[in-house]
């Protein structure tokens, strides 16, 4: 058995995902919390060459973070790296057809799972690229009913998961890379080369953070991703204690990131390409009243610059007169919106010009029979946890009715 060390911090959702993935493999590991131990944190940085958690070491060798483990899992190579015996190659292809499969484990997917499980549909949830959805990279959630004092996003999604599991939902790691929505039963091709089949499908794959697409933004070693550039303040904010960092964006996500980061940084520069924010008034007020925050209106980031090892600043350009400058700072947090995770279904289901799945008025039915969509994957307007949960409920009820009406499909 290999030796596995995982360097973590308490409020890092990516750390939770990495640990869950290792637990799902039955692999014992030692967890090392670097939150309050600067010496351990510096040791992790030296040995891994990266400034972000989690960092996973297998037999003393760094293997990156959750994204790296997830990539290995999608390629079917993680078992080999962990020294596990291969698990029967084509067994999933020969498995029984599921009544309902739910893709995604955010508020929409897990609410659908709760309702489907209580209807005795024995649902199977496939976690997807971001187990727990976008709320796992959110700090305080203050607008979800039932939490008068607010709740941390990762903690709320843990409660959703536990409730779904309580009623018998099965949750597995994996990603659907292709789907045959016309086949009966529906066929889902997984990233590890196996397949799943189901009579009804609920797509709740959500949306992923957008990147700017500028030089220097890519993950190391090509750019400064993990060495100054991040999309998760809760994961990486504490690495920037008493430093100057920038946040790009103008919506609620950007305000949340900025507000959280002010707990650690000496100065926060909020960069927005327009002259007003899109964020809700209460979120704007919190940030604009914070003495650590400086706003750069009508400004775009054109490049991340550094010394080859770490980020040292940003190239900025005025969207009004084209004037350019270099802003010295040690971190960049990108919060410019999201795009729906629908690539696996393109060409088989009706979508709008932005890739959001179209549903029929008043329900979650899609253009493909037996396929339903819930949450941010079909919502480009509201994109709230509570609306996602509501459509998850609707999707489960729609799927239940479909299965009753098509018992022999």
* 352 classed as catalytic: no
Structure tokens at 234: 């809760």
Distance (Å, whole) CA 189 – CA 395: 22
- Active-site pick, 12, 15, 235, 329: 235
- Active-site pick, 127, 236, 376, 379: 236
**End-to-end Cα distance, the chain:** 45
CA nearest to 191, candidates 350, 274, 78, 328: 78
- Active-site pick, 198, 232, 252, 379: 232
Say if residues 304 and 217 touch (Cβ distance below 8 Å).
Answer: yes
Phi, psi of 151 (to 5 degrees): -155, 145
Q: Is residue 39 classed as helix, strand or coil in its secondary structure? A: helix
Return the bridge partners of 140, or none: 152
Other Cβ atoms closer than 10 A to 397: 17
* 379 classed as catalytic: no
Distance (Å, whole) CA 272 – CA 260: 18
Say if residues 230 and 207 touch (Cβ distance below 8 Å).
Answer: no
Specify the DSSP element, H or E, that contains 98: strand 98-103
Distance (Å, whole) CA 396 – CA 402: 10
Structure tokens at 159: 């409660």
| β-sheet with 324-328: strand ranges across | 299-306, 311-318, 324-328
Return the bridge partners of 245, or none: 268, 331
* 329 classed as catalytic: no
Environment class of 114 (CB within 10 Å of its CB; exposed 0-12, middle 13-18, buried 19+): buried
Phi, psi of 147 (to 5 degrees): -125, 75
Residues annotated as part of the active site: 232, 235-236
């Amino acid at each position: 058995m290999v030796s596995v060390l995982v360097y973590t911090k308490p409020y890092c959702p990516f750390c939770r995902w990495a640990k869950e993935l290792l637990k799902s493999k039955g692999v014992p590991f030692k967890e090392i919390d670097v939150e309050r131990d600067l010496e351990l944190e510096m040791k992790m940085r030296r040995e891994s060459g990266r400034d972000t958690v989690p960092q996973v070491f297998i037999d003393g060798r760094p293997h990156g973070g959750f994204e790296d483990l997830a990539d290995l899992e999608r390629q079917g190579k993680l078992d080999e790296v962990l020294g596990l015996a291969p698990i029967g190659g084509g067994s999933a292809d020969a498995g029984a057809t599921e009544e309902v499969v739910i893709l995604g484990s955010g508020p929409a997917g897990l609410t659908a799972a709760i309702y489907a499980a209580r209807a005795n549909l024995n649902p199977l949830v496939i976690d997807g690229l971001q187990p727990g959805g976008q709320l796992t990279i959110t700090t305080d959630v203050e607008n979800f009913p039932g939490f008068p004092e607010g709740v941390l996003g990762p903690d709320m999604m843990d409660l959703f998961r536990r409730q779904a599991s309580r009623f018998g939902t099965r949750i597995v790691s994996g990603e659907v890379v292709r789907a045959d929505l016309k086949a009966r039963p529906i066929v889902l091709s997984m990233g590890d080369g196996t397949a799943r089949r189901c009579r009804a499908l609920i797509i709740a794959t959500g949306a992923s953070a957008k990147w700017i697409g500028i030089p220097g933004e890519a993950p190391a070693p090509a750019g400064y991703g993990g060495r100054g550039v991040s999309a998760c303040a809760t994961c990486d904010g504490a690495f920037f204690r008493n430093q100057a960092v920038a946040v790009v964006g103008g919506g609620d996500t950007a305000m949340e990131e900025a507000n959280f980061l002010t707990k650690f940084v000496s100065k926060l520069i909020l960069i927005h390409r327009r002259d007003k924010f899109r964020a809700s008034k209460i979120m704007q007020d919190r940030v604009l009243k914070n003495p650590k925050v400086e706003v750069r209106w009508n400004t775009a980031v054109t490049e991340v610059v550094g010394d080859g090892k770490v980020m040292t600043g940003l190239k900025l350009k005025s969207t009004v007169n084209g004037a350019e400058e270099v802003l010295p700072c040690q971190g960049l947090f990108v919060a410019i919106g999201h795009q729906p995770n629908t690539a696996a279904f393109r060409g088989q289901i009706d979508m709008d010009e932005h890739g959001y799945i179209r549903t029929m008025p008043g329900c979650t039915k899609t253009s493909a029979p037996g396929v339903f969509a819930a949450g941010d994957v079909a919502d480009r307007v509201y994109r709230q946890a509570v609306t996602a949960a509501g459509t998850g409920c609707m999707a489960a009820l729609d799927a239940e009715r479909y299965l009753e009406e098509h018992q022999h499909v």
